Structure 1
């Protein structure tokens, strides 16, 4: 796989296509990479010609690193469920779902457009379904939260226990007639199905949020042909989102710690147990800990990653993470800094922009403008709020249960390390469970076959994953269309005709030292680059640094107060990175394609989030 080694400060047009999948060399040691994944997620003989006709873009906004076998569950659930709401539930006139494949460990997407001759027939169904949701938005959203919470509670109830040496006498006398193995098998199936249930719920309102915003966006482009995309986004900013609640809770805890004079007890937040014990013994500590416990449920069901990887670390399981963030907020408060988001300023700017453009409209168009903007503003918060309930809370519980099951089988000798279940495909896990319950049930003196079979497979697959991690993915594959019009591809991922042309020209440089991307959040800042590939590196960020990453996670909010600006490889105006940066009033350029490969930590940059450019002022 080829590294994207040169910035997109380009004279676009020398290339007309990206490499075909078959043209990309496989990293040494990863030759058998296809064995990691189900057959339907990898290129297959006989399908090459069709796959080579399609334009694929790398979906490293949500999967920025190599996907391990069990982790494909997130790929399949997310992309399948997104597609079903476009294609089957809402009947979006111009867009069906997203085809998805894994190539050399990375996820690639290809949007499916509705043929022109089918668009008109979908419009009445689309309008009726859309009207039902928007006319009943609040009660349906309240019901959505109940459904999601109930599913999370079911997930929490699952247990994975070793089978008993003998069936309890009580089961004999009650006539139960089972040995407990059915619980293990059923709970695994429930684990998979419950996560799937919440992923279906995930997209019920998400696509509506995008649709409402896109409807407002298109109206603005029609009546204000020269309006910047960023001005339209500004008209829905400054809202209170549940996704920001975890960070807001940390700020409240920091403020309370300062009020109670507890600062000295946060000297070593890496030792969470000792820190909390010290606070418990201090004056005012009982009050602070009560507030801490209140914040934990549910707001610490939050990951420093994005919820799609088994290695993601959740606050509720690693209390040193929120304690470190609180310590930093305490330090900033003691330095006289303001740590809360500038919500009042965002609202004032929003209202100013709204009025400025509204005054240009006729009475009829102003009424339409108000209606469409109001609908977009109503639906807009869900675009981020769902993230907490699904990617963070649901998946946090899911991965905790996966680790519990993995530890059980590790104790039985099925694999060398506690988390090695991640190197099995999910259907292989069920085979392993049946292997265990069969050997146990018949009293086999040799035990299950798994301890002989799986350790070798796991070690081989670990080697393949490690080899795949040595290469960076191509931003796209095959020949792009003449123009990219599919709305979700443009707004969420930032895959526009202009960006694709920029990526195609990435081998031809001029002397400007400027990368081009999406003008995602306004403002101009100069500062030193800090390139981050993993959430574990966030502690390296210094005040005023410009964060450069393949993509940011919404949960990185607690460090945004330290940043000067943010730059990402992928993401459109409605990506998580763009929305979060706007709500933190942080200048941002998204969708550069290659910033994290080109820019090195220590370089001095000028980020223009209004124009969508990143200028390298000084190299290292």
Structure 2
């Protein structure tokens, strides 16, 4: 029987072993008993698109900064007439969101502000975006410069003679605060242009729907496609390196890229190896500040620290080049298709409407690349440097006996770390044997690890409480794919045909192929050529595998999600926002994916593929 409502937060069972989970997160992130009446009235959806795995306490920083800063640009900077920010909570380890509407009576007063502010940005786009790059890179450089080396055994003699009168502990305390502040600064910058990119696209989208009532969403998206994006640059650098390796006959050195040091040594020993290594070095700064995850978790692996990842992608490109395949994105084909569709629709309009159509389309084309490009600068580059500094600090503190490894620090929230640091400078300053935390934190971290592992055993509920009659908030629909139809499908639960999944028609094309279910970026190497990728969500950095696969199916994501945009730019069929594809489909299932209709059909239920990373209903 179809449900009319999702469970309330208090109705979801706490996984065995996760009791007391609320106290590992900041108080303002968890639902409060005293606010139960208000919080149960609101509709909350799970953002597993950006936060697909359970938060360790320190990792909530990404969710807090991202969602708070997204909201401030809607509510306080741009004064978007119909949308404020997004309220958010962590429940059972996952992030839930609830858009805050603007009361109807406040909308007229916001329109004038909105038009002036947005107008300023669009009138000065290039100049302001150039300033943005300078601001963001300067912040990254400041994070890079932070020093978390151990405190000195004794104050240097020159500090005595110069009258410095400090012991170095101020550096530790100040640098930690700077680390948090600088990450926060770049997250504020992150949204300065992002919401404008969505606004420009939505303005064009709504105009098209008005003048062409039957136009498919995909045709509108196609009219801005085929643009060059910096987010694709890391992948493009790998393609250039693969081509150079083939030109220089270096293929033999790429036999086992899991051992990066041996691979690079083998390249250096070959004729032309020096030339290749020079290009490899040049590509790294900044383009290897790129993670196979999304930058929100301390466990995300970055190319700059795990050379086996880019080398593995390069080896795969080399194999495809040797097989005579074209490894480049089909940009010319996309541009030709874009021009055909633009002309087809523009010819239906009178001269005046056609001019408005083209002005709105050009604005969308100008702003659209930022929707993806910001991702490299903030989620990947900024957060890559941020997590590296967190590990440096965690390693230094592990050396004082506070915990075993750098990653253990992630089980404390960021405000608890400030207490730990004063514990450290106090013990060091007075000459005591060890910080007090050495007896407190190992036990507490062990307790929290058990809680986090227990929380991971349950999949998050897709939503909480009663949904509204219709979901109209544009960002929720465009980015997350949370539509009235999607919510009704979630509520239908098991009532539907399990072999038929429906989602967003995110990128056109119809293919049949074998499913490969990927629940984590570490499993990407298992994808075989010609398979259909099925995942909770894809990361923009999975670009190198899009040349291997036939289509993409995801659990969450709308027309403007990263998965949808990247698939369109690689000319791959995609169905996003299916809700439960990754847990319904098994690796080895035969699928028909129709990215034009937004449907996925499980044609045959093949025996589940076994081996590492293979997923069945039970293990997914």
- The answer to whether structure 1 residue 501 and structure 2 residue 464 are counterparts is no
Residue of structure 1 equivalent to 2:565: 579
Determine whether 1:19 maps to 2:7. Answer: yes
Q: Does residue 282 of structure 2 align to residue 289 of structure 1?
A: no
Aligned match of 1:475: 462
Q: Tell me, yes or no, if structure 1 residue 487 matches structure 2 residue 474.
A: yes
Q: 2:229 aligns with which of 226, 238, 241?
A: 241
Hey, what does 2:197 align to over in structure 1? 209
Find the aligned partners of 1:305 and 1:315 in 2 and give their Cα distance: 11
What per-residue deviation string (whole Å, max 9, x for no partner) do you get for residues 454-498 of structure 1?
000100000000000001011111000011111100100000111
Secondary structure of 1:528's aligned partner: strand
Q: Say whether residues 1:450 and 2:437 are aligned partners.
A: yes
Distance 1:478 1:319 in 2: 45
- Is 1:344 paired with 2:338? no
Q: Deviations over 1:325-354 (max 9, x none)?
A: 000000000011110000000000011110
- 3-state secondary structure, aligned to 1:506: helix
Q: Could you say which residue in structure 2 is the equivalent of 1:10?
A: none
Deviation at 1:432, TM superposition (A): 0.5
Deviations 1:345-370 (CA, angstroms, capped at 9, x unpaired): 00000111100000001111100000
Aligned partners of 2:400 and 2:435 also within 8 Å: no
Match of 1:94 in 2: 82
Structure having greater relative contact order (Cα 8 Å, sep ≥ 6): 1
Aligned counterpart, 1:401? 389
SS, match of residue 416 in structure 1: coil
Residue 509 of structure 1 deviates from its aligned partner by: 2.3
Counterparts of 1:353-368 in structure 2, within 5 Å, are 353-368=341-356
Q: How far apart, in 1, do the equivalents of 2:150 and 2:277 lie?
A: 36
1:143-189 deviation digits (Å, cap 9, x = unpaired):
10000000000000011011111111100100001000000000000
Q: CA RMSD in A?
A: 0.8
1:517 maps to: 503
CA distance in 1, matches of 2:497, 2:135: 54
TM-score, normalised to structure 1, is 0.97
- Where does residue 8 of structure 1 map in the other structure? none
Aligned positions, number: 606
Query: 1:448 Cα deviation (Å)?
Result: 1.0
Partner of residue 162, structure 1: 150
Q: CA separation in 1, counterparts of 2:431 and 2:173? A: 18
Q: Superposition pairs for residues 273-422 of structure 1, below 5 Å?
A: 273-422=261-410
Distance (Å, rounded) in 2 between the aligned partners of 1:475 and 1:544: 30
Unaligned runs of 5+ in 1: 1-12
CA distance in 2, matches of 1:261, 1:161: 44
1:608 and 2:564 are equivalent in the alignment: no
Q: 1:555 aligns with which of 514, 525, 541?
A: 541
In the TM superposition, residue 49 of structure 1 has moved relative to its aligned partner by 1.1
Structure 1: how far apart are the matches of 2:307 and 2:432? Answer: 43
Q: What is the rounded CA distance, in whole Å, between the counterparts of 1:413 and 1:49 in structure 2?
A: 45
Matched, 1:425 2:413: yes
The alpha carbon displacement at 1:510 in A equals 3.3
1:172 aligns to 2:160 (yes or no): yes
Contact 2:58–2:412 under 8 Å retained in 1: yes
Taking the aligned partners of 1:83 and 1:317, their CA distance within structure 2 comes to 33
SS state at 1:480 partner: coil
Report the secondary structure of 1:530's partner residue.
Answer: strand
Structure 2: 5+ residue stretches without partners: 607-620
